[in-house]
Amino acid sequence: MSGADPRVRAVLKLAPVIPVFTPENVDDAVAVAQALFNGGLPVIEVTLRTPVAMDAIKAMVEAVPDAVVGAGTVLTAAQMEQVKKIGGRFAVSPGATDRLYAAARDTDLPFLPGVATSSELMKGLEHGLDTFKFFPAVQAGGVGMLSAWNGPFGDVRFCPTGGISAQTARDFLHLPNVLCVGGSWLTTRALMQARDWAGIEQLARESAALVG
């Protein structure tokens, strides 16, 4: 890759919070996409942790075409290709390998690889990227780690994900090298079981208003 992919930062700048959603069925996934989008969060990361995830992404893309729906927990080149094929707009991984970096280039899919150490970050820079998911954010050093990284890696930008809540999101968003945060608090098991789409939309509205 010659130069960093500007599409990644463009996606991360659309809203301060990217909801991280694990779908259990397709119909509910569509309702979640509509609620999040109506609440002001256009970017949605759908984790590939359930058998219905790919079908859910495809349905969400078709039902809410203005939303930017991507896949999280992308672990293989085959998954990367399938995400692109069904209309996913970006891919996120908890870490990254040379094979996954190559797959992102081959499929021409905006890629947000996960990093937790300086060495992983430097490897990503060698692959031509400048924007990363910091994961698992809280467990890997949180605000302090990102603040320290801003010295040697001043041009790099992050989307921290993992252990972040509505209460702590602002602490991360306040940092100069953070574009947005990823959070699963918008689609908790309780909200999903209750099918509380209005509640999810309200949480999205509150999250869309967060600033650092």
Q: Is 79 helix (H, G, I), strand (E, B) or coil?
A: helix
Distance of alpha carbon 119 from its chain centroid, rounded? 21
Which entry of 13, 45, 84, 206 is annotated as an active-site residue? 45
Rounded to 5 degrees, φ, ψ at 130 are: -135, 10
What are the distances in angstroms from CA 184 to CA 17, 60, 129, 136? 10, 17, 25, 13
Tokens 């954010």 belong to residue: 137
Which entry of 58, 84, 133, 201 is annotated as an active-site residue? 133
Asked whether the beta carbons of 36 and 198 are under 8 A apart, the reply is: no
- Please state whether the peptide bond connecting residue 16 to the residue before it is cis, i.e. omega within 30 degrees of 0: no
| Cα–Cα dist 78/96, whole Å | 14
Distance of alpha carbon 205 from its chain centroid, rounded? 18
Asked whether the beta carbons of 178 and 159 are under 8 A apart, the reply is: yes
Q: Tell me, yes or no, if 45 is annotated catalytic.
A: yes
- Which residues carry out catalysis? 45, 133
